[in-house]
């Protein structure tokens, strides 16, 4: 009855451009090593569980306790029947953790960014956005209808020129940026951004998704590490990466939080996070704050891996600013080839990252605190083995 041939045409086009993705199914708990449904056991370097908390026994027990007391579902949106005691306790704890007046919990990082940005911005406003911002930030800006001005990655000079040329033209001005760029492995220049936003009265919003648990006192994020909470009062963080669970939050002044409760559609029209998730995040935030030794091990692993790979002259390794290690390639085909050989010959899971996720094809390696020194050494040896067959000229891309 219905003609879906156009779907096949689109899939074929993606395949021809080497942009069609395939899912791999994990059948064990996610950790340094995982087993796939194919039966292959692989060394996992694609995980965002930076502190390795996903399988922590205290978190598993917290899940059991929350489900036993409150059941498995929240039964509705937060504005109807979906606000449990656990939600309010978690939000109070997040506000303390982040040194903020208030907090609001969302079901995912995507939901938080889309909800916050689309609620606070309007078609009468201007917004400045780093070109490498996460897709959820971009989508939130689109939904807001605000006038968007994209500046080159971390180019504060261009940002200031844009701000200066737009001064007085719009009702309000906002800036949205990641603090850690998860697919580039580098940091936003928050100190310089703060000077621009203060000078031109621009309201900044910072997404700390990849910084929570990794940077700052008690893992509170990169803004915390810089001690600049007062300059960036609206911040978004995720609980699906270093925190090891799922969901996300926005911290902000109390009146901003109250407005989000009444305007953020991803909050208002989504069934709230289940008791199991909320109870587990509550315990995970506590563990993150106590995890200085896990953070230290994470950084040790990342530095060891970066130093080892940097010795391979055929690889274009990005400078290390975060525990995310980036290897750039000049073509999608080369990134696919290296990733495939790592997987099939070396049993290392390091998927290629391709457009539209990034501009330049790359392999993103994510060491976690539970990787052993032997795991790191093995990855370095694997790249030495594969790099022998590569031409240096084919790997000269990057930033």
Return the percentage of the chain with pLDDT > 90, whole number. 92
Output the pLDDT for position 396: 45
Q: 322 and 184: one domain?
A: no
pLDDT of amino acid 330: 87
The verdict on 282 and 320 lying in the same domain is no
Q: What is the 3-state secondary structure (H, E, C) of 308-347?
A: HHHCCCCCEECCCCCCCEEEECCCHHHHHHHHHHHHHHHC
- Give 158-189 as a DSSP string: HHHHHHHHHTTTSS-EEEEEESEETTTTEE--
Query: Does the pLDDT at position 395 exceed 60?
Result: no
Question: At 393, is the pLDDT very low, low, confident or very high (cuts 50, 70, 90)?
Answer: very low
Q: Residue 357: its pLDDT value, please?
A: 85
CA angle 125, 130, 131 (to 5 degrees): 115
What was the pLDDT predicted at 388?
A: 85
Q: What is the CATH number of the domain that holds 263?
A: 3.40.640.10
Convert the pLDDT of each residue in 10-65 to its tens digit.
999 999 999 998 899 999 999 999 999 999 999 999 999 999 999 999 999 999 99
Shared domain for 258 and 300, answered yes or no, is no
Mean pLDDT of 204-232: 98
Tell me the whole-structure pTM to 2 decimals: 0.94
The Cα–Cα gap between 266 and 24 comes to: 29
Residues in contact with 198: Cβ distance below 8 Å, sequence separation at least 6, in sequence order: 231
139 and 264 housed in the same domain: yes
| Residue 68 CB partners (closer than 8 Å, separation 6+) | none
Task: Choose the weakest-confidence range: 83-92, 147-156, 284-293, 327-336.
Answer: 327-336
The total of other beta-carbon atoms located within 10 Å of residue 21's CB is 9
**Residue 389 has what pLDDT?**
79
- Return mean pLDDT, the chain: 95
> For the domain that residue 338 is a member of, what is the CATH number?
3.90.1150.10
Verify that 16 and 31 share a domain, yes or no.
Answer: yes
Identify the domain boundary among 289, 314, 340: 289
Domain identity same for 130 and 274: yes
| pLDDT at residue 109 greater than cutoff 50 | yes
Co-location of 281 and 155 in the same domain: yes
Distance CA 371, CA 50 (A): 10
Q: Is the pLDDT of residue 391 over 80?
A: no
How many alpha carbons lie under 13 Å from residue 128 in its C-beta half-sphere?
A: 30
Q: What is the pLDDT of residue 392?
A: 62
Q: Average pLDDT in the 359-378 region?
A: 96
Whether 330 contacts 397, CB under 8 Å: yes
Q: Say yes or no to pLDDT of 399 above 90.
A: no
Mark whether 103 and 121 lie in a shared domain.
yes
Residues 132 and 19 in one domain: no
Mean pLDDT of 102-124: 98
Share of the chain above pLDDT 70, in %: 98
Are residues 329 and 358 in contact, defined by beta-carbon separation less than 8 angstroms?
no
Lowest mean pLDDT among 1-15, 109-123, 167-181, 212-226: 1-15
Question: Which of 264, 289, 314 is the endpoint of a domain?
Answer: 289
Whether the predicted pLDDT of 88 surpasses 50: yes
Domain end call among 258, 289, 320: 289
Give the pair of three-digit tokens for residue 144. Answer: 């807001």
Q: What is the pLDDT of residues 137-183, one digit of tens each?
A: 999 999 999 999 999 999 999 999 999 999 999 999 999 999 999 99
Position 312 pLDDT exceeds 70: yes
DSSP, collapsed to helix, strand or coil, labels residue 277 as helix
Which structural domain range is residue 371 located in? 5-51+292-395
Structural domain count, the chain: 2
Residue 365 has phi, psi (to 5 degrees) of -100, 130
Q: Do 156 and 25 lie in a common domain?
A: no
Q: For residues 22 and 78, state if they share a domain.
A: no
Band (pLDDT 50/70/90 cuts) for residue 368 is: very high
Check residue 39 and give its pLDDT. 93
How do 126-130 and 316-317 pair as beta strands? unpaired
Among 83, 52, 4, 2, residue whose Cα is nearest residue 368: 52
Q: Are residues 63 and 159 in the same domain?
A: yes
End-to-end CA distance of the chain: 50
């Amino acid at each position: 009855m219905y003609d879906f041939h156009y779907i096949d045409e689109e899939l074929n086009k993606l395949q021809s451009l080497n942009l069609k993705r395939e899912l791999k199914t994990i059948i064990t708990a996610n950790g340094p090593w995982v087993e796939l449904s194919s039966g292959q056991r692989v060394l996992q370097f694609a995980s965002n569980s930076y502190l390795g908390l996903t399988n922590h026994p205290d978190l598993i027990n917290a899940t059991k306790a929350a489900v036993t007391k409150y059941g498995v579902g929240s039964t509705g949106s937060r504005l109807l029947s979906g606000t449990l005691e656990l939600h309010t306790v978690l939000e109070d704890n997040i506000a303390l953790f982040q040194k903020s007046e208030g907090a609001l919990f969302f079901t995912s990082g995507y939901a938080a960014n889309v909800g916050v940005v689309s609620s606070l911005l309007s078609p009468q406003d201007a917004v400045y956005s780093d070109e490498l911002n996460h897709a959820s930030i971009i989508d939130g800006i689109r939904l807001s209808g605000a006038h968007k001005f994209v500046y080159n990655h971390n180019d504060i000079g261009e940002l200031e020129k844009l701000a200066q040329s737009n001064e007085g033209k719009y009702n309000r001005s906002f800036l949205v940026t990641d603090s850690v760029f998860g697919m580039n492995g580098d940091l936003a220049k928050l100190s310089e951004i703060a000077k621009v936003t203060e000078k031109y009265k621009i309201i900044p919003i910072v997404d700390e998704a990849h910084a929570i648990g990794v940077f700052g006192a008690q893992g509170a994020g990169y803004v915390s590490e810089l001690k600049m909470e007062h300059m960036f009062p609206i911040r978004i963080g995720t609980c699906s990466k270093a925190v090891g669970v799922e969901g996300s939050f926005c911290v902000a002044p109390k009146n901003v939080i109250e407005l989000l409760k009444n305007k953020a559609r991803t909050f208002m029209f989504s069934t709230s996070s289940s008791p199991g998730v909320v109870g587990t995040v509550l315990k995970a935030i506590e563990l993150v704050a106590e995890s200085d030794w896990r953070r230290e091990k994470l950084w040790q692993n990342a530095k060891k891996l970066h130093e080892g790979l940097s010795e391979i002259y055929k690889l274009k390794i990005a400078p290390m600013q975060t525990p995310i290690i980036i290897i750039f390639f000049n073509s999608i085909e080369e990134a696919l080839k290296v990733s495939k050989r790592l997987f099939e010959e070396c049993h290392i899971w390091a998927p290629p990252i391709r457009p539209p996720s990034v501009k330049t094809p790359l392999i993103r390696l994510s060491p976690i605190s539970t990787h052993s020194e032997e795991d790191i050494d093995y990855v370095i040896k694997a790249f030495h083995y594969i790099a022998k067959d590569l031409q240096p000229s084919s790997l000269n891309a990057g930033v």
